[in-house]
Amino acid sequence: MPRRERLENNVTSTLSSTINASVTTVTVASGTNFPSEGDYRIIIGDEIMLVTARSSNDLTVERSADSTTATTHSAGSSVRMILTAGSLNKFAEDMCGSCADNYGYRFLDQSDVTQTSTDFTWTNQSTSTITDELYGGMTMKIPDQSGVKLRILTQTAPSAPYKLTGKLHFGPGYTYGSTIMGICFRESATGRIQTCGLQIGGDVGAWQYSSATTYGTRMGAAYDHRSDNVWVRLEDDNTNIMASVSSDGINFMEIGRQSRSSWPTGSGYDEVGFFVNGESADADALYHFNAWIVE
């Protein structure tokens, strides 16, 4: 799961040894009561630090958080978990349209950096547009069209292993057709594409395309979902490509799997992104990508 802001009451300890203004590992006398995963804030003296992980008594921190100044702290100094304006802002961000064990509605790369539409590159754009929404997602609008015409936005893929999770939602105003929206892996040298998505009418599947205008085949089976929104996932574990779907963003069911070299014909998938294939599309219809998260 992505890092989330963690909140706890009355968590304190002391510094085991003196630290300078640049160290990023803080050792406390007892780390037992501190959350084992980030993110959360601690204060030592007047400096607030963002804790991103804990291993036993060692806290991995980002210094000078919340506009404070990094400085030297002496052994025995109080280390206290606190709630700050930064904590509340991040917690609200995490919880937007979500729940405690779920993914927030946002676009994040593998480093948990928020992504906007300018971080992606179009393939086969035509007159399609993309809008950054205030809640953290994006909305795509495509021209009226027929036939296979994937409108794709991608960025460079991280090194395997990694997984890409997305939340999809068809807006109102659609007629039944073959329109599909989803997330994708793409091989830039050949244009071959692996998708996992939702088709109007309720099917979810992992469709494969030889290019943005040529359908190939499907990895695994298509499943009846009977909903206009769904969570989807593509995963590259450095051996296989897996496609999964979920109705709640927590419990995922695998719907397809094959060797990571089965569909690409070049050096492999080097882009990750999202798309709409607007067969029988209505020109005014909107396609909502509520979340897109690389881990």
Give residue limits of the domains in the chain.
12-95, 107-294
pLDDT at 261: 94
Per-state percent for the chain, helix, strand, coil, to nearest 5: 5, 45, 50
For residue 98, name the pLDDT band (cuts at 50, 70, 90). Answer: very low
**3-class DSSP assignment, residue 94:** helix
pLDDT recorded at residue 77:
97
What percent of the chain shows pLDDT beyond 70? 90
Predicted confidence (pLDDT) per residue in 58-80, tens digit: 999 999 999 999 999 999 999 99
Average pLDDT value for residue range 25-42:
93
How many C-beta atoms surround the C-beta of residue 77 within 10 A?
15
Gyration radius of the chain's alpha carbons: 22
Per-residue pLDDT tens digits for 230-271: 999 999 999 999 999 998 888 899 999 999 999 999 999 999
**pLDDT confidence of residue 103:** 60
CB-based contacts of 13, cutoff 8 Å, min separation 6: 28, 29, 30, 31, 33, 34, 79
pLDDT for the residue numbered 99: 44
Mean pLDDT of the chain: 89
Residue range 129-152, pLDDT digits in tens: 999 998 789 999 988 777 889 999
The residues, ordered by sequence, that sit 6+ positions from 233 with a Cβ below 8 Å of its Cβ are 163, 164, 165, 166, 183, 196, 242, 243, 244, 245, 246, 252
Please give the pLDDT value at position 14: 97
The answer as to CATH 2.60.120.200 being correct for domain 107-294 is: yes
* pLDDT for res 96: 55
Structure confidence by residue, pLDDT tens digits, 201-228: 778 999 999 999 999 999 998 888 777 7
CB 46 within 8 A of CB 69: yes
Which residue would you say has higher pLDDT here, 174 or 122? Answer: 122
Share of the chain above pLDDT 90, in %: 67
How many other β-carbons are positioned within 10 Å of the β-carbon of residue 48?
23
Residue 211's pLDDT is: 97
So what's the pLDDT on residue 184? 98
Query: Higher pLDDT residue, 96 or 264?
Result: 264
Question: What is the token pair recorded at 179?
Answer: 């329109």
